[in-house]
């Protein structure tokens, strides 16, 4: 009898829960159909196309470059429509003067507000996901190596609810015709200019979801190519955004008498999460691979280099690059092709030259030093300023290659590289051969080379400079033949300018 | 000016929330002044005034909305002049307040930049008010803010946007940018004076 009486109770409970869920679903569907964010989606797409998409697509098709730039741009472009729509929706009851009218409905105000906010956020997330999908699908068709980086996209997706929560709460608390534009401008100012306060790798401001990785490196090809993308900062940013959302939505419920303590507890939990994320961001440090490590969130297995099969050129000395850089290999071989022909097979010349990762170091303030982690003539570092990044042209990239890689190859072979005794000044003949072998494109100006005069290049107008011009006039094959016969003597400093061809 | 005219102006100003708008314009000017004391990098220094100019333009555009709807249109022939006067007065006051806020401070672009940007952005806002209604008139200036900030960004990172329609990215004395901003402002004034802000059945924006 007791069992028979007790049996229906769970059924009633289930029906009640099911009915509540159904009701919430209906409410959400209604809010989705009558939501301002739906009408602002075209504006969001237009802003993203204008501000983000064109610049992202102008970048070389490398996952790291495009994903990091996407994180920096997407939320920025969604900021105005998402915050504005949320503020508009949040102020609806107050703006229309129906607060008292709807107070008598079955659901508490907090519940109704959450449904409206959820619908606004859902449409904003649709916009966010659509933008990510377009960029990632196009990149997947163009990239020569790698796969999507999901953490930058996750940070953007996590930032959207934070924007809508701020806008919604402002609209709900201060309903009025001016609140929507004002809160949108304030959020724009806070988010866009908040990054200006970021200084160095220990900055708390790194928690801003617009910052992907080290603030003054940004989207660089050397970051997350040779080593995995570190999610440490992204985790802190997602935690911050989620904490902010929970805190704001909780605060919306505090005025509801029956739920005051629950709402206060939720708000406190959200604030604790957001505060913890800010504190974690402040413990970050720049690792040598250009990413931010947060010790409390760091997974040591991410420090292992990525495995890859390099792409190599069919040149007298093969040049091998990371497959993500495969698109730049023709530019590299075109820039240093004559030098490769000249040195192929010479004693001391490398049999193969491979790309190695750049090494990043944090300087005081926002300064970053990027250096090559190479160990001799057999290794080289490609510059971060690749064509398409920050307006870099193909000619500027070629000039950088000649100034960096070409000159480095020459000096390593002619002067002996690491085997060269420290403090030994190069002879005039050595400088003439180096200068006569490296092809600087016309875009390289004299002032760019000035620091190298006397150290790696002869002074302009000097006898060594004239000898360099004579040497440069020879064909690569002729220079190779001469070097094959005289390289040992040249390295030993026994060749004079007069002996140069 | 008769007492009736003064009363008409006062009532029109009240219906458009002009007192609140004036307070907010003053707050924007104070905000600009306060932020100019902070050290910004080159990006920030150039982009900062545009944010406050946009806020002012959005406030002016939102005031265009009428709480009365259709009945107001039948009240007499002075309504277009009142709308025009309100928009011009607020634009002038906003420009003056922002310029005063930048006095003696390193304000990028100076007064010509402020006048051009506030006028152009207000024109966009008034056009939006005509098309979308007063309460939603902020969408135009704020969307243009993103475009303007990006235009200023491309001054460092080529290819720079050279179209004068993105006038915030042009130098303060650039004739093309000033003409475009002036044309948009004139179009906005004409639209708001003749047609007024769009009115919805509910009287205050779309059904959302």
- Reduced to 3 states, what is the DSSP secondary structure of residue B25? helix
Mean pLDDT, chain A, rounded, equals 87
C-alpha–C-alpha distance, residues A225 and A209, integer Å:
22
The residue with greater pLDDT, A391 or A433, is A433
* Averaged pLDDT for residues A252-269: 89
Which of A168, A185, A190, A387 should one mutate to test binding to chain B, selecting the residue with the greatest count of B CBs within 10 A? A185
User: Mean pLDDT, consecutive 10-residue segments, chain B of 208 residues?
Assistant: 85 89 96 91 86 96 84 78 94 96 89 95 96 91 94 82 91 94 97 87 47
Cβ distance of A39 and B158 shorter than 8 Å: no
C-alpha–C-alpha distance, residues A350 and A408, integer Å:
12
pLDDT of B120 reads 97
Q: Is the dihedral of CA B148, A67, A242, A366 positive or negative?
A: negative
What are the beta bridge partners of residue A370? Answer: A360
pLDDT of A375 reads 63
Cβ distance of A43 and B54 shorter than 8 Å: no
| Residue A71: both structure tokens together | 């994180």
ipTM (interface predicted TM) = 0.91
- Position A11 pLDDT exceeds 60: no
pLDDT of A107 reads 78
* Averaged pLDDT for residues A184-194: 92
DSSP 8-state code for residue A211: -
Alpha carbon dihedral A103, A104, A110, A114, in 10-degree steps, equals: -100
Cβ distance of A80 and B202 shorter than 8 Å: no
- Tens digit of pLDDT for each residue in A62-89? 999 999 999 999 999 999 999 999 999 9
DSSP 8-state code for residue A323: G
C-alpha–C-alpha distance, residues B32 and A189, integer Å:
11
- Write the CB contacts of A404 (distance below 8 Å, at least 6 apart in sequence): A380, A381, A383
Task: Kindly state whether residue B9 falls inside one of the protein's structural domains.
Answer: yes
Q: Residue A185: which of B55, B157, B158 has the nearest Cβ?
A: B55
Task: Kindly state whether residue B208 falls inside one of the protein's structural domains.
Answer: no
DSSP secondary structure string for all residues of A220-240: -TTTTSSSPPP-HHHHHHHHH
Q: Is B193 exposed, middle or buried (0-12, 13-18, 19+ CB in 10 A)?
A: buried
Cβ distance of A34 and B40 shorter than 8 Å: no
pLDDT of B100 reads 96
Cβ distance of B40 and A196 shorter than 8 Å: yes
How would residue A446 be classed by pLDDT, with cut points 50, 70 and 90?
Answer: low
C-alpha–C-alpha distance, residues B57 and A454, integer Å:
60
pLDDT of A373 reads 63
Angle between helices B139-153 and B42-62 (to 10 degrees): 170
- Check if B181 contacts A (Cβ < 8 Å): no
C-alpha–C-alpha distance, residues B26 and A179, integer Å:
16
Total residue count of chain A as it appears in this document: 501
- Position A426 pLDDT exceeds 70: yes
Tell me the backbone φ, ψ of residue A362, rounded to 5 degrees: -80, 125
| Residue A123: both structure tokens together | 């449409």
CA angle B11, B16, B21 (to 5 degrees): 115
- Residue of chain A nearest B47, judged by CA positions: A193
Distance from CA of A434 to the nearest CA of B (A): 34
Task: Kindly state whether residue B151 falls inside one of the protein's structural domains.
Answer: yes
Residue A260 CA neighbour count, 13 Å, CB half:
4
Cβ distance of B62 and A188 shorter than 8 Å: no
- Reduced to 3 states, what is the DSSP secondary structure of residue A305? coil
pLDDT of A466 reads 87
Which range of residues forms the domain containing residue B54?
3-194
Task: Kindly state whether residue B71 falls inside one of the protein's structural domains.
Answer: yes
Task: Kindly state whether residue B204 falls inside one of the protein's structural domains.
Answer: no
Q: Is A472 exposed, middle or buried (0-12, 13-18, 19+ CB in 10 A)?
A: middle
- Position A214 pLDDT exceeds 70: yes
- Check if B39 contacts A (Cβ < 8 Å): no
Task: Kindly state whether residue B206 falls inside one of the protein's structural domains.
Answer: no
- Tens digit of pLDDT for each residue in A284-325? 999 999 999 999 999 999 999 999 999 999 998 999 999 999
Q: Where are the beta strands (DSSP E) in A208-357?
A: 285-286, 292-293, 311-312, 319-321, 353-355
- Which has the minimum average pLDDT: A237-241, A442-446, B102-106? A442-446
DSSP secondary structure string for all residues of A351-396: S-EEE--EEEEEPSTT-EEEEE---STTEE---S--TTGGG--HHH
pLDDT of B67 reads 79
The residue with greater pLDDT, A141 or A429, is A141
- Residue of chain A nearest B153, judged by CA positions: A51
Which of B59, B144, B208 should one mutate to test binding to chain A, selecting the residue with the greatest count of A CBs within 10 A? B208
A416: left (phi over 0), alpha (psi -120 to 50) or beta: left
Cβ distance of A178 and B51 shorter than 8 Å: no
CB B134 within 8 A of CB B32: no
C-alpha–C-alpha distance, residues B82 and B147, integer Å:
32
Distance from CA of B208 to the nearest CA of A (A): 5
C-alpha–C-alpha distance, residues A242 and A240, integer Å:
5
Tell me the backbone φ, ψ of residue A76, rounded to 5 degrees: -60, -40
- Position A273 pLDDT exceeds 90: yes
pLDDT of A2 reads 43
- Check if B201 contacts A (Cβ < 8 Å): no
Angle between helices A476-491 and A428-437 (to 10 degrees): 150
- Position A249 pLDDT exceeds 80: yes
- Check if A21 contacts B (Cβ < 8 Å): no
In this structure, the number of other CB atoms found within 10 A of the CB of residue A309 comes to 9
pLDDT of B203 reads 43
Q: How far apart are the first and last CA of chain B?
A: 42
Number of Cβ pairs < 8 A linking chain A and chain B: 98
| Residue B12: both structure tokens together | 């029109």
Cβ distance of B17 and A178 shorter than 8 Å: yes
Task: Kindly state whether residue B184 falls inside one of the protein's structural domains.
Answer: yes
CB B117 within 8 A of CB B60: no
| Residue A163: both structure tokens together | 């924007």
- Tens digit of pLDDT for each residue in A357-394? 989 988 877 788 888 765 667 888 888 888 888 778 88
- Tens digit of pLDDT for each residue in B19-33? 999 999 999 999 999
Domains: count for chain B? 1
Q: Which residues of A150-171 are buried (b: 16+ CB within 10 A; e: fewer)?
A: ebbbbbbbbbbbbbbbbbbbbb
Which range scores top for mean pLDDT: A111-120, A129-138, A346-355, B191-200? A129-138
Q: Residue B62: which of A39, A40, A177 has the nearest Cβ?
A: A177
- Position A268 pLDDT exceeds 70: yes
Q: Where are the beta strands (DSSP E) in A273-378?
A: 285-286, 292-293, 311-312, 319-321, 353-355, 358-362, 368-372
């Amino acid at each position: 009898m007791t069992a028979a009486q007790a049996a229906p109770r769970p059924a009633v409970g289930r029906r009640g829960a099911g009915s509540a869920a159904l009701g919430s679903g209906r409410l959400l569907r209604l809010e989705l159909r009558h939501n301002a964010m739906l009408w602002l989606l075209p504006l969001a797409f237009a802003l993203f196309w204008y501000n983000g998409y064109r610049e992202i697509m102008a970048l070389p098709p490398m996952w790291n470059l495009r994903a990091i730039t996407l994180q920096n741009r997407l939320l920025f472009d969604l900021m105005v429509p998402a915050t504005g729509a949320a503020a508009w929706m949040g102020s609806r009851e107050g703006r229309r003067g129906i607060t008292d009218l709807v107070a008598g409905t079955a659901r508490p105000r907090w519940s109704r507000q959450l449904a409206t906010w959820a619908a606004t956020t859902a449409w904003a997330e649709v916009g966010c996901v659509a933008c990510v999908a377009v960029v990632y699908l196009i990149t997947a068709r163009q990239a020569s190596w790698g796969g999507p980086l999901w953490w930058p996209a996750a940070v953007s997706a996590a930032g959207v609810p934070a924007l809508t929560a701020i806008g919604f709460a402002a609209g709900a608390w201060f309903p009025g015709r001016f609140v929507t534009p004002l809160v949108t401008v304030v959020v724009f100012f806070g988010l866009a200019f908040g990054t200006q306060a970021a200084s160095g790798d220990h900055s708390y401001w790194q928690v801003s979801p617009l910052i992907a990785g080290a603030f003054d490196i940004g989207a660089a090809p050397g970051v997350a190519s040779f080593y995995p993308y570190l999610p440490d900062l992204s985790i802190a940013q997602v935690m911050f955004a989620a904490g902010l959302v929970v805190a704001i939505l909780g605060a919306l419920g505090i005025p509801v008498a029956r739920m005051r303590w629950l709402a206060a507890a939720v708000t406190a939990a959200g604030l604790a999460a957001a505060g913890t994320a800010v504190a974690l961001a402040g413990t970050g440090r720049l690792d040598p691979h250009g990413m931010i490590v947060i010790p409390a969130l760091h997974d040591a297995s991410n420090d292992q280099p990525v495995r890859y099969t390099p792409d190599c050129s069919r040149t007298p000395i093969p040049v091998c690059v990371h497959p993500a850089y495969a698109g730049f290999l023709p530019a590299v071989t075109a820039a240093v092709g004559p030098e490769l022909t000249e040195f192929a097979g010479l004693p001391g010349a490398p049999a193969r030259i491979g790309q190695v990762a750049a090494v990043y170091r944090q300087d005081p303030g926002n300064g970053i030093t990027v250096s090559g982690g190479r160990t001799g003539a057999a290794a080289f570092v490609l510059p971060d300023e690749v064509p398409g990044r920050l307006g870099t042209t193909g000619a500027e990239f070629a000039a950088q290659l000649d100034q960096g890689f070409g000159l480095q190859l020459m000096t390593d072979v002619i002067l002996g590289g690491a085997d060269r005794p420290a403090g030994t000044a190069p002879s005039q003949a050595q400088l003439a051969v180096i200068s006569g072998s490296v092809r600087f494109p016309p875009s390289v100006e004299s002032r760019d080379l000035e620091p190298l005069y006397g150290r790696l290049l002869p002074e302009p107008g000097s006898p060594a400079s004239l000898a360099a011009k004579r040497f440069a006039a020879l064909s690569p094959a002729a220079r190779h033949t001469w070097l094959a016969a005289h390289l040992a003597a040249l390295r030993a400093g026994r060749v004079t300018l007069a002996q140069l061809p | 000016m008769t007492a009736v005219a003064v009363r008409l102006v006062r009532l029109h100003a009240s219906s458009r929330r002009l007192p609140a708008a004036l307070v907010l314009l003053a707050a924007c000017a104070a905000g600009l002044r306060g932020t100019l004391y902070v050290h910004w990098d080159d990006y920030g220094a150039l982009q900062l005034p545009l944010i406050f100019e946009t806020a002012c333009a959005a406030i002016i555009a939102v005031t265009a909305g009428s709480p009365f709807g259709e009945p107001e249109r039948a009240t007499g022939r002075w309504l277009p002049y009142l709308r025009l006067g309100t928009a011009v007065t607020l634009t002038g006051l906003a420009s003056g307040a922002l310029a005063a806020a930048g006095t003696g401070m390193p304000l990028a672009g100076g007064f010509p930049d402020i006048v051009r940007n506030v006028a152009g952005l207000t024109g966009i806002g008034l056009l939006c008010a005509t098309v979308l209604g007063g309460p939603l008139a902020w969408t135009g200036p704020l969307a243009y803010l993103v475009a303007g900030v990006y235009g200023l960004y491309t001054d460092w990172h080529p290819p720079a946007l050279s179209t004068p329609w993105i006038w915030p990215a042009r130098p303060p004395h650039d004739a093309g940018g000033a003409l475009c901003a002036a044309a948009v402002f004139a179009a906005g004034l004409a639209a708001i004076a003749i047609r007024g802000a769009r009115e919805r059945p509910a009287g205050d924006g779309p059904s959302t």
